[in-house]
Amino acid sequence: MVLINLENLTKNYGREPDITNALENITLSFEKGKCYVISGPSGSGKTTLLNLIGGLDRPVSGDIVIDNLRLSGFSEKELTDFRRRNIGFVFQDDALIPELTVYENIELPLVLLGYKKKQRAVYTDNILSSLGIQLKKKNYPDDLSGGEKQRASVARAVIHSPSIVLADEPTSNLDRESADRVIMMLQKISRELGTTVIISTHDSNVISGFQNRIRLEYGKPV
Amino acid sequence: MLFWIKFAFRSLIRRYRKNIIIFTGFTFSIAVLIFLGAVMTGVNDTMINNALSLHTGYIVIEGSSGSCSKALENADRLKQLITENTGENKILTRVSIPVIIMSGKNSVPVFLTGINPEEERKITPIHSKIREGKYADSTDNSILISRSVSDRTGAGTGDTVKIFSPVLNKNASVSGVYSTGIESFDSAMVFTDMRNISSLTEGELFYQLSVFLENSDMLEKTVNDIKKYTDSESVRGWDEKLPDIYQLVRLNRLAMYIMIFLVILIIGFSVANTLVSSVIERKKTFSILKAVGSGGREIVFVIFSESLILTAASGFAGTASGILIVCITTLLGGIDLSPYISFNPNFAINSIIIPRLTPGMTLFPAVMALASGTAATLLPALRTAKQKVVSGMRNI
């Protein structure tokens, strides 16, 4: 079952005459509950594509349809609300909020969705123990290793059971062992929760572990 | 909401070096402004007290009657009514008549005022301003003149002067000479014992009751209360009786409020500057928040909370420090400004300034700090709320 449909998607940066085509007339679809890897060299449009699917940016032309909802018709407020409920992000850098503890970082999506403190505690403690970072829950991000930070990022991305998890180069700053652990974690989430996971990477080790691969070059799939 | 307040608090702690500078600046300014405000109020108090304690009192009730006995009868009746109904008991009764004092060929127009010397001694400081001779008493139709009148008529202690009016021509002896340093007062006032007044004057007399309030804040209420018991008498608060002093006091207050406003405004700009740079530094954090699903409302709330926590804390610390400084200064006996203002007629009686806190002057700097801090946050908060997520995410 197709969850995400990209129809003739184009995205440019800059102004005339210095326009850079980040994505050019892309048409793609992603199925529900499957895991995808998007590969390609730097500047090929991987991050732009994830930003568009996640509603962080808007295309110049074309449409993004997610679960029969056309994102181009959404206002900023609606887009924020959509993102809050349906999308989980894992960024290249750990992207944890330094002012919050690991526990608070992970419970953040639940706070935004209006969960009560007790409900949040149940979900957060569960995910902390399943990802093996329970002992670090009172620590601030600065006290964690790279792998621990990225595991906390994954926990934050999936705690509210979104239908889509977008991971932009999640292993680029990790050692092999930590990188494998994060990728396995994402694949497990996709399998067990029926979440569509899209990972962008240029790491050949990561790419080889996926069946569904999309390669971008100069803003186009090849 | 608690989550976001905690977030704002942690953000402040995380950038404590910058925030401690703002906190200290705000606290110091508020404390100094409160102290200056209290000193200004103390200067006003001293000025008012100097002007009022000499003779006028806070409230003046004036009327006229055909004869001395009738005037005193009316004044006593009114005094009793006021004491019974308002509880004020520091009330002085006087009768006065405009006359001309003549010595040799020199003459000056003055108000000859009949007083009760024993009562006056308890309330007014004229007796302490006698430079030669003695206070007015009931012997020999004696009068107390000022140095100013003495200089202009050439009469001194023990001399006999003539007292003229269209219906009067009497002799009186000078019992003493006083000088308050306030020319407008000294040149117009000549005193005699109330018991002499019927033998020294004829014609219509004016009687006057001066009420010396224990609590000056009760002025308006007491004036209104007294008006209920008076008929033809005029009742005036000191603000009407001495409009020049009243305007000066208001001008002082206005100047102080303007100064507080400007100082806090300048500090408000520094808060805005620090907050703008702090928000720019945290572009990434706010972008992550937005990516995760925070709306503009949460981000504006966090930035506003930071400013509120900072200004409220410094407002509290500044107000407490200001109050402490005022209390210490008061305990040390106030500020003696005699080297600077003793020749100023408004401070001729007393030039010790006792700083006094008023609710307005105490709270205004902190409230202004809160308002300017919040206003300073508006622009960075709104800009951050509207900022595109992708622009902040580029570095991630």
What is the tens place of the pLDDT at every residue in B261-270? 888 888 778 7
DSSP conformation class of A144: S
Instruction: Please answer yes or no on whether B291 and A92 come within 8 Å at the CB atom.
Output: no
3-class DSSP state for residue A117? Answer: helix
Using CB atoms, pick whichever of B7, B295, B393 lies closest to residue A100.
B7
Give the model's pLDDT for residue A197: 93
Instruction: Pick A158 or B68 by higher pLDDT.
Output: A158
- Structure tokens of B108? 């000056």
| pLDDT for A88 | 93
Q: Which residues of B touch A109 (CB under 8 A)?
A: 292-293
Distance from CA of A117 to the nearest CA of B (A): 10
The residue that leads in pLDDT, A21 or B36, is: B36
ipTM of the complex: 0.89
Q: Does residue B396 carry a pLDDT above 60?
A: no
Kindly tell me if the per-residue pLDDT of B152 is higher than 80.
yes
Are the beta carbons of A112 and B7 separated by less than 8 Å?
A: no
pLDDT tens-place string over residues A72-103:
888 888 999 999 999 999 987 768 999 999 99
pLDDT at B176: 93
How confident is the model at residue B348, as a pLDDT?
67
Q: How far apart are CA B318 and CA B324, in angstroms?
A: 10
Residue contact A99–B7, C-beta within 8 A: yes
Rounded to a whole number of angstroms, the distance from the CA of A57 to the nearest CA of chain B is 6
* Beta carbons of B293 and A91 less than 8 Å apart: no
Using 50, 70 and 90 to split pLDDT, how confident is the model at B394?
low
- CA-to-CA distance for A131 and A142, rounded, in angstroms? 18
Do the chains contact at B288 and A91, CB–CB below 8 Å?
A: yes
- Provide the mean pLDDT of chain B: 85
- Residues of chain B with Cβ-Cβ distance to A167 below 8 Å are none
Phi, psi of A15 (to 5 degrees): -125, 160
Confidence label for B199 from pLDDT (cuts 50, 70 and 90)? confident
Instruction: Tell me which residue in B14, B295, B390 faces A57 most closely, judged by beta carbons.
Output: B390
- pLDDT tens, residue by residue, A43-83: 888 999 999 999 988 899 999 999 888 988 888 889 999 99
pLDDT at A39 over 50: yes
